[in-house]
């Protein structure tokens, strides 16, 4: 990889720093310093000293010389994370580094040459900031030598299985345990979620699952995808046709309940389905359990909710109907759940219709 200045743009959590590290590792500078600075983490009055360093006696309290982060990265790579937060006063000094390849320590009498490969990241549009005069145009064009736009994770679902596998191995190593294998149902569920927090959120979900999982295979039951039913991805067109239990098909099964029950013969729900949400939810859960033969894990995936949410709802239904009301299939774990689900899903008949039959 050439020592070209790189600008990585993308939403928070899309893995900009991960990509920057990968670029460094693949470059001839891989064995040389890697220095990362978060421009949003320090106030402007401290950031200048952090980046450029200072000489002894440069200001009150400067009892000794300090080497700045840019100088520390000499011959290596400097990551300027969230460069959009760099104050305008420091943008001019950074421009000099990129143009002249030298820095001036605070209180220094002479410039110091540096050989630094700069990678900058931002979760904001620098072009829009330039238009609003919040970012220097000359600095932007110096940084924009090789721009990379990282799409959000929801727009690159094909990468999720490989990313998840890599994260599981990395997180398992940090937890001091052997990495479990990702089960097919877990991969399907992970590929369905929308990830508002992108790769960072995927890592958090997997770390939480690894804490719970003690088996050699990480299954769907170990995952806790928050508010899955609110942020699932739209189903792919071929998922609806194949009906193969893929995450898109599961989301479609949940989203399509109202339209399915309105078409005679397409559903086992009663023809006169009530429109109130609690009843509709109860019937949808019953139908999902019937279709999955009482398997709660697969029913939760079909409904687009977490297994914990499904268990809580079943517990609530069981409590509410303990006085003799109708129970949902799978709510008590008895082996006859298939028969009860068929009873629940069968349309009720009036006395006159039974006599006519």
Q: Do 60 and 86 lie in a common domain?
A: yes
Say how many C-beta atoms besides its own lie within 10 A of residue 237's C-beta.
9
Q: Do 146 and 159 lie in a common domain?
A: no
> Is 1 contained in some domain?
no
> Is 236 contained in some domain?
no
Q: Do 63 and 79 lie in a common domain?
A: yes
Return left, alpha or beta for 329; rule: phi > 0 is left, psi -120 to 50 is alpha, else beta: beta
Q: Do 33 and 116 lie in a common domain?
A: yes
Output the pTM of the full model: 0.58
- DSSP assignments along 21-37, one per residue: HHHHHTSTTTTS-EEEE
Going through 175-307 in order, the beta strands assigned E by DSSP cover 181-182, 217-218
Higher pLDDT, 12 or 341: 12
Q: Do 10 and 98 lie in a common domain?
A: yes
Residue 147 confidence (pLDDT): 96
Q: Do 71 and 167 lie in a common domain?
A: no
Residue 1 confidence (pLDDT): 55
> Is 85 contained in some domain?
yes
Residue pair 298/221 in contact by the 8 Å Cβ criterion = no
- Containing H/E element for 165? helix 160-174
> Is 241 contained in some domain?
no
Q: Do 18 and 115 lie in a common domain?
A: yes
Say how many C-beta atoms besides its own lie within 10 A of residue 127's C-beta.
13
Rounded CA separation 35/115 (Å): 13
Q: Do 141 and 160 lie in a common domain?
A: no
> Is 158 contained in some domain?
yes
Rounded CA separation 8/305 (Å): 34
Residue pair 90/44 in contact by the 8 Å Cβ criterion = yes
347, pLDDT greater than 60? no
**Confidence band of 183 (pLDDT split at 50, 70, 90):** very high
pLDDT per residue as tens digits for the range 262-302:
344 444 445 555 556 777 788 888 888 888 778 888 888 77
> Is 250 contained in some domain?
no
Q: Do 326 and 261 lie in a common domain?
A: yes
Percent of residues, the chain, with pLDDT higher than 70: 75
Q: What is the count of structural domains for the chain?
A: 3
Phi, psi of 248 (to 5 degrees): -65, -40
Residue 144 confidence (pLDDT): 95
Q: Do 96 and 123 lie in a common domain?
A: yes
Among 41-50, 60-69, 184-193, 303-312, the range of highest mean pLDDT: 184-193
Residue 144's Cα: distance from chain center in Å?
Answer: 27
Residue 323 confidence (pLDDT): 53
> Is 142 contained in some domain?
yes
CATH of the domain at 126: 3.40.50.300
Residue 284 confidence (pLDDT): 82
From 13, 4, 1, select the one nearest 151 (Cα to Cα): 13
Say how many C-beta atoms besides its own lie within 10 A of residue 100's C-beta.
12
Last residue of a domain, one of 133, 150, 167: 150
Q: Do 158 and 220 lie in a common domain?
A: yes
CATH of the domain at 208: 1.10.8.60
Rounded CA separation 192/231 (Å): 9
Last residue of a domain, one of 150, 166, 181: 150
Side-chain-side CA neighbours of residue 165 (13 Å): 10
pLDDT per residue as tens digits for the range 184-241:
999 998 998 888 889 999 999 999 999 989 899 999 889 887 654 444 444 333 333 3
> Is 356 contained in some domain?
no
Last residue of a domain, one of 121, 150, 179: 150
Domain that holds residue 82: 6-150
User: Residue 342 is encoded by which pair of tokens?
Assistant: 């068929």
Write the burial class of residue 277 (CB in 10 Å: 0-12 exposed, 13-18 middle, 19+ buried): exposed
Q: Do 51 and 114 lie in a common domain?
A: yes
248, pLDDT greater than 70? no
């Amino acid at each position: 990889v050439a020592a070209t200045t790189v600008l990585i743009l993308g939403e928070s959590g899309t893995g900009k720093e991960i990509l920057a590290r990968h670029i460094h590792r693949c470059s001839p500078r891989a064995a040389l310093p890697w220095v990362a600075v978060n421009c949003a983490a320090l106030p402007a009055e401290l950031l200048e000293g952090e980046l450029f360093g200072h000489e002894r006696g440069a200001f009150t309290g400067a009892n000794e010389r300090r080497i700045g982060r840019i100088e520390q990265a000499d011959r290596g790579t400097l990551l300027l994370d969230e460069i959009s937060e760099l104050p305008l006063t420091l943008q001019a000094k950074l421009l000099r580094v990129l143009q002249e390849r030298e820095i001036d320590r605070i209180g220094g009498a002479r410039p110091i040459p540096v050989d630094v490969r700069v990678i900058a990241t931002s979760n904001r549009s620098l072009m829009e900031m330039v238009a609003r005069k919040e970012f220097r145009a000359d600095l932007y064009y110096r940084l924009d030598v090789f721009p990379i736009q990282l799409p959000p994770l929801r727009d690159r679902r094909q990468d999720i299985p490989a990313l998840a596998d890599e994260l599981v191995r990395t997180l398992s190593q940090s937890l001091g345990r052997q990495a479990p294998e990702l089960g097919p149902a877990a991969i399907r569920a992970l590929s369905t979620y929308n990830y508002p927090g992108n790769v960072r959120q995927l890592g958090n979900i997997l770390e939480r699952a690894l804490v719970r999982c003690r088996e050699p295979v990480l299954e769907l039951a170990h995952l806790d995808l928050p508010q899955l039913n609110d942020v699932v991805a739209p189903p792919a067109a071929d998922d609806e046709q194949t009906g193969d239990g893929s995450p898109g098909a599961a989301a479609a099964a949940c989203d399509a309940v109202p339209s399915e029950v309105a078409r005679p013969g397409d559903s086992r729900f009663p023809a006169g389905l009530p429109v109130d949400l609690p009843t509709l939810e109860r019937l949808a859960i019953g139908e999902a359990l019937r279709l999955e033969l009482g398997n709660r894990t697969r029913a939760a995936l079909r409904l687009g909710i977490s297994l914990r949410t499904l268990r809580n709802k079943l517990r609530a239904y069981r409590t509410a109907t303990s006085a003799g009301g109708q129970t949902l299939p799978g709510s008590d774990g008895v082996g006859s759940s298939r028969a009860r689900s068929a009873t629940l899903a069968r349309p009720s008949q009036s006395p006159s219709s039974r006599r006519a039959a």
